[in-house]
Amino acid sequence: MQIVGERVGLESFHMDVFERKKASLFKKWGWKFFPFAQTDPLPHPKLMVPHQREEVVKLVDLIKEGDLVTFVVSDFGMGKTTLCKYLCEVLPLQDPHLLTVFIPAQSIETPEQMLRLLLNRLEIEAGGDLTEEFEKFYRWHQTYPESKLVVFVDEFPELDVKVAEMIRALADLRNVTWVLNGRKEQILNYLREYVPSLLSRKRYMLEMKPLSLEEVRELLLLRMAWARGENNPKGDPLLPFTPSSIRKIYRLSRGIPREVLRLASEAVYSAIEKEAFRISASLVGEKIPRKRRRKSLKKGKRSKSKPKRRRLKRRTRKFRFFW
């Protein structure tokens, strides 16, 4: 029993040492928090997709027009879910007449479940059979004549076909916009096989692409400026990375934003362990203990309170808009 206690004490002591190293280097780098955490929501999409701002602006403009079906497609790790969550949060802040809801496809099993979720978002009492609930949703704009509803469906091809067919019927309703995301080939094949008429209603498709070397550099610079509390990089903005370490991050990540952030996170961890002021290429791609990485590189303590149900009222969260 004593041996177990001594082991726990040693681990606690080692973590305390690591935290002191981390605090020291963060102070030298000017970071107020860890900049490469992949948390939601981000205050600005440029922190995930800095290279496609014009495409995002076009998507937002089309969403504001309403009455459309649009797609956000990419391979894994490109940031399509992060972007959709961001837009779901900020669009009502910019325009109080826009009501948004984000729906993971895995959470929906039946058309009834989808309709009830939408009715609850609109604060319309759900109940009755599918026909009755469809009729309630069909007339929702009579309750909110000046409002537009924007529905984000994450990983759309994972929906049951019956749910997708219902979305096809709902796509014709007034003042409802659907933003469907997924992998490009998967979503196109799904639509062609099961709901081709929904594909014919497509107004726009935003395809998220890998980053170039310069775009990887820009993403890391913007993230570090964010952690320093700057709108734009100042001084030696590349610190603590070197040109060679950024080139290696680009090569190993293949330009996938999620992988870029993972490799940058692990390189920072290695630098803290070795008390290295500069992150050289040799620190990129090192294997680190997963348990220690999760515990030490978190951005900060977060509230564990249960999330509140989304309401129609305007939120107060601070975001920066670029459209």
Give CA–CA dist 220/218, Å, rounded: 6
Give CA–CA dist 36/246, Å, rounded: 14
202 and 61 share a domain? yes
Could you tell me if residue 281 is inside a domain?
A: yes
Could you tell me if residue 265 is inside a domain?
A: yes
Do 253 and 266 form a contact (C-beta atoms < 8 A)? no
Could you tell me if residue 221 is inside a domain?
A: yes
Looking at residue 307, its pLDDT comes to 43
**CATH at residue 81:** 3.40.50.300
Structurally, the chain folds into a number of domains equal to: 2
- Report strand pairing: 202-207 vs 148-154: unpaired
Looking at residue 205, its pLDDT comes to 93
CA atoms within 13 A on the CB side of 268: 28
Could you tell me if residue 7 is inside a domain?
A: no
Which residue range(s) make up the domain with 282?
211-296
Q: pLDDT grade, residue 18 (50/70/90)?
A: confident
| Of residues 181, 115, 177, the one with CA closest to residue 149 | 177
Looking at residue 276, its pLDDT comes to 93
> Which of 7-21, 28-42, 190-204, 230-244 has the least mean pLDDT?
7-21
> Checking phi first, is residue 127 left (phi over 0); if not, alpha (psi -120 to 50) or beta?
left
| Cβ burial, residue 101 (10 Å; 0-12/13-18/19+) | middle
200 and 60 share a domain? yes
Could you tell me if residue 41 is inside a domain?
A: no
Per-position DSSP letters for 86-132, written without gaps between them: HHHHHHHHH-TTEEEEEEEGGG--SHHHHHHHHHHHTT----S-HHH
Q: Of 164, 187, 207, at which residue does a domain stop? A: 207
Q: pLDDT grade, residue 57 (50/70/90)?
A: confident
Per-position DSSP letters for 40-52, written without gaps between them: SS-S-GGGT-GGG
Do 112 and 133 form a contact (C-beta atoms < 8 A)? yes
65 and 200 share a domain? yes
Across the strands, what pairs with 76? none
List Cβ neighbours of 200 (8 Å cut-off, separation of 6 or more).
none
**CATH at residue 241:** 1.10.8.60
**Model confidence pTM above 0.95:** no
154 and 228 share a domain? no
Across the strands, what pairs with 152? 102, 179
CB burial string 277-291: b at 16+ within 10 A, e below: eebbbebbbeeeeee
97 and 179 share a domain? yes
180 and 231 share a domain? no
Do 94 and 61 form a contact (C-beta atoms < 8 A)? no
Looking at residue 319, its pLDDT comes to 47
In the chain, alpha helices (H): 2-29, 53-65, 80-94, 111-121, 130-138, 140-143, 161-170, 184-194, 196-199, 213-228, 243-253, 257-273, 290-296
The answer, yes or no, to whether residue 313 has pLDDT greater than 80, is no
| Of residues 263, 260, 286, 290, the one with CA closest to residue 274 | 286
The answer, yes or no, to whether residue 41 has pLDDT greater than 70, is no
Give CA–CA dist 206/220, Å, rounded: 23
- Please state, in angstroms and as integers, the Cα–Cα distance from residue 215 to each residue in 49, 51, 229, following that order: 9, 6, 21
Residues 202-227 have pLDDT tens digits of 889 999 999 999 999 999 998 998 88
**Average of per-residue pLDDT values in the chain:** 82
Do 40 and 82 form a contact (C-beta atoms < 8 A)? yes
68 and 139 share a domain? yes
Looking at residue 249, its pLDDT comes to 96
Tokens representing residue 122 in the block: 């609109």
68 and 202 share a domain? yes
163 and 215 share a domain? no
Q: Of 207, 229, 249, at which residue does a domain stop? A: 207
- Please state, in angstroms and as integers, the Cα–Cα distance from residue 37 to each residue in 114, 226, 299, following that order: 32, 12, 7
Looking at residue 127, its pLDDT comes to 76
Q: What is the mean pLDDT of residues 56-83?
A: 87
- Please state, in angstroms and as integers, the Cα–Cα distance from residue 217 to each residue in 34, 94, 210, 222, 260, following that order: 17, 30, 13, 9, 10
Q: Of 207, 237, 253, at which residue does a domain stop? A: 207
Could you tell me if residue 34 is inside a domain?
A: no
Looking at residue 299, its pLDDT comes to 44
61 and 184 share a domain? yes
244 and 143 share a domain? no
- When mean pLDDT is compared over 61-65, 129-133, 258-262, the highest value belongs to 258-262
Could you tell me if residue 75 is inside a domain?
A: yes
Could you tell me if residue 128 is inside a domain?
A: yes
**79 phi and psi, to 5 degrees?**
105, 15
Residues 147-181 have pLDDT tens digits of 889 999 999 999 999 999 999 988 888 888 999 99
Q: pLDDT grade, residue 304 (50/70/90)?
A: very low
151 and 243 share a domain? no
